[in-house]
Amino acid sequence: MAGSIEPVEYKRGKEKFSKLEKAEELSGKLSKQQKENKLMHSVLESDKEIIEEGKLLTESVNQNLSSFVPDLIFKNLVNDYKLAKQLYGEVIIRKLTGYDPGFVEKNIKIPEFREELKKNIEENIKKLKQKDLLNKGGEITDQGLKLSSLILYTEELDKLRIKGLGEKKEKKKDIYGDKKDYVPYKKTRYRDIAVRQSVKTAIRRQHTQLLKEDLRIFERQKKGGISIIYALDASGSMKGEKIGVGKRAGVALAYKVINEKNKVGLIVFGEDVKKIVPPTLDFDDILRSITSIRARAETDIAKTVQKAIELFGASKETKHLILLTDVLPTKGKKPEEETLRAVSIARDQDITISVVGINLDKQGEKLAKRIIEISDGRLYTVKNLEVLDTVILEDYYMV
């Protein structure tokens, strides 16, 4: 009897355990969803405190701050304010201390003021932990990143609604499309000249040599859809405001492209390709990936272009890479040669490349011009970071 009862008891116990696991898992998912819904509600209802906390977390990622440690932050502010300002930036200093950075700098030597700063920093970080936006070690949690992404998304869309989202005009003809018909020659790329058809036209007209009026060119028709890859330079020189506006521009691009039923992908690059998202219609996936980007190390554009070729694959869609950077490549034995070689391979795969350069020097601009010449793309030199999102969208409209 004992032998027959034991397996039944074990099986029931296992079933109960399995049901308990599922219940706990469901409870966890519901709890997480409730937290996310609460965050979304707070942001949409313009809860000032939660919005300010979201901005603080967003800026900490842009400044590549790995964790919020009250004692360390206070120590850095007191020991060398100018260095601390470079490390944290004005936004973080203002939001953690509760004072304007200029006021902090003027009064940092006063003992009573130092005590006030220490108290404010500790209390503000404690609040973030209580709301599950930071873990015990002061690192940003998944909940914190979710809030950061919501702030990034809502702020950029509000900004674009004021400026205008713009409109992508559909073109029946397109130089990057498929060869569909022949038309008389007009100023165009040499590669679009239909040699056979031109010769036939000359023979039919009994011309002994090929004349300009005999030339025929391929009329290309735009392909079915569009795939855009946004390649964002996350090298050390992009830290702070530049990476911040680059991320906002990426959010604007993703929103517009996906809203028009086209696909958008992401490549984050520095000394290596750090993060990739293949062209997708999943806006949330792109948004989460953009939110978590941090700037560090050198720049390797060649690897970025190679990765874009891989992500685009053999798709029949119009394929376009937008490359955002502030420096020429520094990684590799011959970085410029390697970059141009990769660009040439990309063009052979029907991929066009546009370069958006932030304050490029003469050497960087020279290389950027070579890239767009080879790839049939466009070059945008940006001095005012506030217009970066508009520039990125403008390039998309030109594809």
| Polymer length of the chain | 399
Cα–Cα distances (Å) from 246 to 231, 234, 239, 269, 299, in that order, read 10, 9, 10, 13, 16
- Sequence-distant (≥ 6) Cβ neighbours of residue 279 within 8 angstroms: 227, 228, 229, 263, 264, 265, 311, 312, 315
Tokens describing residue 386: 């506030």
Q: Cβ–Cβ contacts within 10 Å for residue 379, how many?
A: 18
Burial (CB < 10 A; 0-12, 13-18, 19+), residue 115, is exposed
Cα–Cα distance measured from residue 301 to residue 323, given in angstroms and rounded to the nearest whole number: 9
This prediction's pTM = 0.74
Cα–Cα distance measured from residue 122 to residue 108, given in angstroms and rounded to the nearest whole number: 17
Tokens describing residue 170: 């559909």
Cα–Cα distance measured from residue 314 to residue 291, given in angstroms and rounded to the nearest whole number: 29
Q: Specify the domain boundaries for CATH 3.40.50.410 within the chain.
A: 226-398
pLDDT in tens, the chain (399 residues): 444 434 333 344 444 445 555 555 545 544 555 665 665 655 556 678 888 999 999 999 999 998 999 999 999 999 999 999 999 999 999 999 999 999 999 999 999 999 999 999 999 999 999 999 999 999 999 999 999 999 999 888 888 777 665 555 554 444 444 444 444 444 555 555 666 776 777 777 777 776 767 666 655 555 468 999 999 999 888 999 999 999 999 999 999 999 999 999 999 998 888 899 999 999 999 999 999 999 877 778 999 999 999 999 988 899 999 999 987 776 767 888 999 999 999 999 999 999 999 988 888 899 999 999 999 999 999 999 999 999 999 999 988
Cα–Cα distance measured from residue 246 to residue 228, given in angstroms and rounded to the nearest whole number: 16
**Res 226: pLDDT:** 93
Can you list the alpha helix ranges (DSSP code H) found in the chain? 2-44, 48-62, 70-79, 81-97, 101-107, 111-130, 142-163, 195-204, 241-259, 283-291, 301-312, 335-348, 362-375, 388-398
Burial (CB < 10 A; 0-12, 13-18, 19+), residue 3, is exposed
Q: Cβ–Cβ contacts within 10 Å for residue 363, how many?
A: 11
CATH topology of domain 226-398: Rossmann fold (3.40.50)
**Res 329: pLDDT:** 73
Q: Pseudo-torsion of CA 117, 118, 122, 124, nearest 10°?
A: 0
Q: What is the maximum alpha-carbon separation in the chain?
A: 107
Cα–Cα distance measured from residue 87 to residue 258, given in angstroms and rounded to the nearest whole number: 36
**Res 184: pLDDT:** 47
**Res 218: pLDDT:** 57
